[in-house]
């Protein structure tokens, strides 16, 4: 979060972002023994919602403070540059995915993982697939979060300008776009295959806007809203959703002609039950006195470091999850292999974050030396 010094940094945001990254890593290894323990098995939302919400909070810290008349073009340029960095990271991930999964297919003659991840399209239409990668319209499985983030960042300056008028106005504008996209079917198409993006950015931007609002309030020192009635409603909703999921109740209901996004559990368009679940969860967690505890807890530091360096950790975690899928297909190691995958994956991501933090600290120290000498 640029623009925040270490003393003022909200470490709980970094902690939960690190938690989301590790959860995504485990969830991106289908069938992993720890997959049944992640919070998607106890409610309507999962780590993708948490990741996008926290992305909004972080964007508010990084850009909202300076998003003032006279500086908005410069800040918008920074946002666009960040979106471009994410775009380049997406292209790099696609190339590595093709190398890891395609290399295994060539070595073993087993193309099942190519089919599962929808990378077989490269064999069927290579030129179209390359163009689709460049346009972000070709999104293999497990490689569709960064395109969502790029699209939302390109919408962010408009949302931030509205938030600077008032937080309520910004949320109203975002909510209007959310409703319009779901009622009209507005979405971005995929190509060369058919359909739409797995994550509809016109719907998911509402969750990002909620994160912007939270970050804006935190940055301004606005007291978090809260009362016993809201506490009870949020807790009741989480308990009901957990009971629903754990009991295995239907995920495909039909209350037509009521619009489906009000009652289904569609992840692509961020249906209301999923949106309400992550917001209720974030609200209740915010009511806990975690900030001071996380600052002093040594056990929390690895996750805080990983959340602080979210993009490189996410990219490495994605590559590791693909390699883990290859390993589980090649070797029937059962629980022992899953434990090894989790141990190696978490360790590598933490070591990467630690190294990046060590490098950043060295750069800060070097930049202060000339001043100290003077």
Residue 374: its pLDDT value, please?
40
**C-alpha–C-alpha distance, residues 271 and 260, integer Å:** 8
In a domain, 6, yes or no: no
In a domain, 5, yes or no: no
In a domain, 223, yes or no: yes
In a domain, 2, yes or no: no
Task: Return the half-sphere exposure (C-beta side, CA atoms, 13 A cut-off) of residue 347.
Answer: 6
Residue 24's nearest CA partner among 49, 5, 44 is 49
In a domain, 176, yes or no: yes
Residue 251: its pLDDT value, please?
60
Residue 1: its pLDDT value, please?
37
In a domain, 339, yes or no: yes
Tell how far CA 281 is from the center of its chain.
Answer: 16
Nearby residues of 77 by Cβ (< 8 Å), 6 or more positions away? none
How many domains are contained in the chain? 1
Nearby residues of 100 by Cβ (< 8 Å), 6 or more positions away? 319, 322, 323, 326
In a domain, 66, yes or no: yes
Burial code of 280-290, b = ≥16 C-beta within 10 A, e = fewer? bbbbbeeeeeb
Residue 296: its pLDDT value, please?
86
Residue 3: its pLDDT value, please?
38
Question: pLDDT tens per residue, the chain (374 residues)?
Answer: 333 444 456 899 999 999 999 999 999 999 999 999 999 999 999 999 999 999 999 999 999 988 988 899 999 999 999 999 999 999 999 999 999 999 999 999 999 999 999 999 999 999 999 999 999 999 999 999 999 999 999 999 999 999 999 999 999 999 999 999 999 999 999 999 999 999 999 999 999 999 999 999 988 877 767 788 999 999 999 999 999 999 887 665 677 788 888 888 999 999 999 999 999 999 999 888 888 889 889 999 999 999 999 999 999 999 999 999 999 999 877 899 999 999 999 999 999 999 999 998 877 666 665 544 44
In a domain, 3, yes or no: no
Cβ atoms 140, 97 nearer than 8 A: yes
| Residue whose token pair is 């920074």 | 78
Residue 369: its pLDDT value, please?
58
Residue 260: its pLDDT value, please?
84
Cβ atoms 89, 311 nearer than 8 A: yes
**C-alpha–C-alpha distance, residues 49 and 275, integer Å:** 8
Residue ranges making up the domain that contains 236:
11-373
């Amino acid at each position: 979060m640029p623009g925040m010094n270490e003393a003022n940094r909200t470490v709980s945001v970094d902690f939960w972002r690190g938690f989301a990254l590790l959860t995504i890593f485990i969830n991106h290894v289908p069938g992993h023994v720890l997959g049944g323990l992640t919070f998607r098995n106890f409610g309507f939302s999962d780590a993708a919602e948490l990741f996008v919400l926290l992305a909004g909070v972080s964007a508010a810290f990084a850009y909202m403070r300076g998003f003032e008349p006279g500086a908005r073009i410069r800040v918008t340029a920074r946002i666009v540059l960040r979106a471009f960095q994410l775009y380049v990271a997406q292209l790099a991930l696609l190339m590595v995915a093709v190398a890891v999964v395609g290399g295994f297919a060539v070595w073993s003659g087993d193309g099942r993982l190519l089919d599962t991840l929808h990378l077989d399209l490269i064999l069927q239409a290579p030129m179209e697939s390359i163009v689709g990668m460049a346009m972000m319209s070709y999104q293999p499985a497990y490689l569709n979060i960064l395109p969502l983030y790029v699209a939302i960042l390109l919408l962010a300056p408009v949302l931030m300008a509205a938030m600077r008028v008032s937080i309520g106005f910004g949320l109203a504008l975002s909510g209007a776009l959310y409703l319009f996209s779901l009622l009209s079917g507005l979405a971005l198409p995929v190509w060369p295959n058919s359909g739409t993006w797995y994550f509809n950015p016109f719907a998911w931007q509402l969750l990002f806007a909620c994160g912007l609002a939270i970050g804006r309030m935190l940055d301004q020192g606005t007291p978090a809203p809260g009362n016993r009635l809201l506490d009870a409603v949020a807790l009741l909703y989480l308990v009901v959703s957990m009971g629903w999921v754990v009991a295995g109740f239907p995920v495909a209901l039909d209350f037509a002609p009521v619009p489906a996004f009000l009652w289904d559990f569609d992840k692509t368009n961020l249906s209301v039950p999923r949106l309400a679940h992550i917001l209720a969860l974030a609200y209740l967690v915010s009511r806990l006195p975690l900030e001071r505890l996380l600052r002093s807890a040594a056990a929390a530091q690895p996750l805080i470091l990983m959340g602080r360096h979210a993009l490189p950790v996410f990219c490495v975690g994605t590559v590791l999850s693909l390699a883990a899928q290859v390993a589980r297909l090649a070797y029937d190691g059962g629980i022992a292999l899953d434990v090894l995958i989790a141990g190696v994956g978490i360790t590598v991501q933490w070591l990467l974050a630690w190294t990046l933090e060590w490098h950043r600290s060295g750069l800060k120290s070097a930049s202060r030396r000339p001043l100290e000498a003077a």
